[in-house]
């Protein structure tokens, strides 16, 4: 039993690491009310997705897809290219999220989700009184 587990877990270590990192990111997003911590959790989750896709693109014994003598097995560069694009999109999205958080902080003087919800409820009640 232990031998079976060590063979299967050890051979798929990258997948287990990706799942673990993904769950850490998801836990961070769900449990924290601070908006910056939520963005950090999303970035951790995104890193796990990068690891997963790059791990799936690895070919044992594969080389760069440049035709040369003596090489028969080539790696597919598409997963790495897609992940580079995803990294650029992730950085841009994170920068936009931080910019929005700065504006929220300037307007409401807080970045805690529950406090923002409470302020929004109070604003709704004040609007109903008019």
**Closest to 116 (Cα-Cα) out of 128, 105, 127, 130:** 105
Domain chopping of the chain, boundaries? 2-129
Res. 87: pLDDT tops 90? yes
Note the pTM of the prediction, 2 decimals: 0.80
Q: For 2-129, which CATH class?
A: mainly alpha
Res. 93: pLDDT tops 70? yes
How does pLDDT run across 60-75, given as a tens digit for each residue? Answer: 777 777 877 888 888 8
pLDDT at 73: 83
- Taking residues 34-50, what's their average pLDDT? 96
Handedness of CA 119, 120, 123, 128 (dihedral sign): negative
């Amino acid at each position: 039993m232990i031998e079976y587990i060590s063979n299967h877990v050890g051979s798929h270590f990258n997948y287990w690491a990706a799942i673990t990192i993904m769950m850490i990111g998801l836990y961070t997003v769900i449990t924290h009310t601070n908006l910056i911590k939520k963005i950090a959790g999303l970035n951790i989750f995104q890193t796990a997705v990068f690891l997963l896709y790059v791990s799936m693109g690895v070919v044992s014994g594969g080389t760069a897809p440049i035709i040369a003598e003596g090489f028969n097995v080539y790696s597919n560069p598409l997963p790495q290219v897609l992940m580079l694009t995803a990294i650029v999109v992730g950085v841009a999205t994170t920068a936009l999220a931080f910019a929005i958080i700065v504006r929220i902080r300037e307007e409401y003087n807080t970045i805690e989700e529950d406090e923002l919800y409470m302020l929004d409820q109070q604003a709704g009640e004040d609007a109903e009184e008019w």
